[in-house]
């Protein structure tokens, strides 16, 4: 089994994740998850989302992965029974109390061990398997050798992160947020202190932030050593980020399956991913311990771009109905990519409002406009400013 696993911070992100090639999503309810600042899902929204996913033949994993303090345990069993009732495909946990409650109450939930458990060796994996865990999300510090040894010794289902932000601490075991802001990173309140700039005693500015993770060049190797699920970080990321990253990794995986993956496509994919992520991204621990080249110490570049121009709401062979997201105008060269279409590129020659009024520029977010296009587009496809020449993707 090869699974592409996407974050889903809300229902809109969930729908776009499935549209752009995710086999499964992970998400959180209002309690017990590690993304307190995400929108997250009410119980009714969870029920509806699971039903929707299953209607597509997709899966939903729910995070119950905080480090529990005594007061956090109240309501846990009722919540687990609710997740059983709505037939979520698995829960993601880090604290042994959740595993214990599932077993004591005979709750029929598949258990996945969170990356928060910082698992890096086969003996630890065997311990958790004996407790009923069916899948292990390895620590982000896992190397190729670690993964291969764990798979060989245990045969367990392995999930690994392939894209997204890294933690300065050891797979999320950080206390800096608590110390500086009284927001507990291990209960979902991380203030991302490691993204801040600091000054030493001589007032020299420095940073201690790792670059993002990007495993585009290593997916084939990860499949060979036994990784089953390829996980993207980012429950608070935009639909454009999720669509772009999923669209790219989906094609990498599909090309591996058909033995058509080339170095040229990998180079193209890395450029696309790096552009949408805003920060530099590298393989981090996969080939060995990171060096100073995998970290930011000074001069960090993290500029947000306005590449996402519009969302295609409807299309025929000649015209796309587009919801504006960022400024664009007649004469701009743009690209439209979608889940099942070849990416197209063209120069905008004609724009009208919904009522047919000619327009020169589009600068009102969420405005609906019509654009002349060279061929029909997928509903839900996205228009972006031209970043790179299109590489033959299929």
| 119-170 per-position pLDDT tens digit | 999 999 999 999 999 999 999 999 999 999 999 999 999 999 999 887 777 7
At 302 the pLDDT is 59
SS3 4: strand
Lowest model confidence (mean pLDDT) among 32-46, 168-182, 289-303, 322-336 = 289-303
Within the chain, where are the H helices? Answer: 11-19, 43-55, 76-85, 96-104, 122-130, 144-154, 176-181, 219-225, 239-257, 263-277
At 394 the pLDDT is 47
Alpha carbon distance 339, 118 (integer Å): 34
Lowest model confidence (mean pLDDT) among 91-100, 217-226, 284-293, 367-376 = 284-293
Alpha carbon distance 283, 292 (integer Å): 13
Quick one: tokens of 87?
């037939």
At 200 the pLDDT is 77
DSSP classification of residue 29: B
At 307 the pLDDT is 93
Dihedral sign (CA 224, 225, 230, 233): negative
Under 8 Å between Cβ of 269 and 252? yes
Kindly state the percentage of the chain with pLDDT values over 70.
93
Alpha carbon distance 314, 123 (integer Å): 53
| 276-314 per-position pLDDT tens digit | 876 777 788 899 888 878 777 666 565 567 899 999 999
At 5 the pLDDT is 98
Q: Average model confidence (pLDDT) for the chain?
A: 90
pTM over 0.75: yes
At 368 the pLDDT is 97
Alpha carbon distance 99, 302 (integer Å): 39
At 209 the pLDDT is 79
């Amino acid at each position: 089994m090869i699974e592409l696993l996407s974050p889903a911070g809300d229902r809109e992100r969930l729908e776009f994740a499935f549209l752009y090639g995710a086999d499964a999503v992970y998400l959180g309810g209002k309690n017990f998850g590690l993304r307190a600042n995400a929108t997250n899902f009410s119980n009714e929204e969870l029920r509806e989302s699971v039903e929707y996913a299953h209607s597509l033949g997709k899966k939903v994993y729910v995070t119950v992965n905080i480090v529990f303090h005594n007061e956090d345990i109240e309501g846990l069993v009722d919540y687990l029974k609710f997740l059983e009732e709505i037939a979520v495909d698995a829960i993601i946990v880090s604290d042994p109390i959740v595993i214990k409650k599932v077993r004591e109450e005979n709750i029929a939930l598949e258990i996945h061990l969170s990356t928060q458990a910082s698992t890096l060796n086969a003996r630890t994996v065997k311990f958790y398997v004996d407790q009923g865990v069916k899948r292990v999300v390895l620590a982000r510090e896992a190397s190729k050798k670690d993964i291969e040894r764990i798979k060989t010794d245990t045969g367990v289902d392995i999930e690994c992160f392939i894209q997204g932000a890294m933690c300065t601490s050891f797979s999320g075991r950080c206390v800096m947020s608590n110390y500086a802001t009284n927001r507990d990173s291990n209960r979902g309140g991380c203030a991302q202190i490691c993204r801040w700039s600091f000054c030493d005693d001589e007032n020299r500015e420095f940073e201690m932030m790792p670059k993002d993770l990007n495993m585009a060049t290593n997916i084939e190797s990860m499949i060979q050593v036994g990784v089953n699920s390829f996980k993207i970080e980012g429950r608070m990321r935009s639909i454009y980020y999720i669509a772009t990253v999923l669209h790219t990794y989906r094609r990498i995986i599909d090309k591996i399956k058909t033995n058509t993956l080339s170095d040229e496509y990998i180079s193209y994919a890395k450029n696309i991913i790096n552009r949408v992520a805003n920060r530099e991204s590298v393989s981090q621990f996969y080939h060995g311990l990171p060096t100073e080249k995998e970290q930011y110490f000074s001069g960090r570049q993290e500029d947000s771009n306005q590449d996402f121009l519009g969302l295609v709401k409807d299309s025929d062979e000649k015209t796309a109905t587009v919801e504006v997201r960022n400024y664009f105008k007649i004469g701009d060269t743009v690209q439209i990519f979608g889940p099942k279409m070849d990416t197209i590129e063209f120069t905008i020659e004609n724009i009208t409002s919904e009522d047919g009024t000619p327009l020169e520029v589009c600068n009102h977010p969420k405005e609906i406009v019509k654009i002349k296009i060279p061929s029909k587009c997928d509903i839900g496809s996205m228009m972006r400013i031209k970043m790179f020449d299109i590489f033959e993707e299929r």
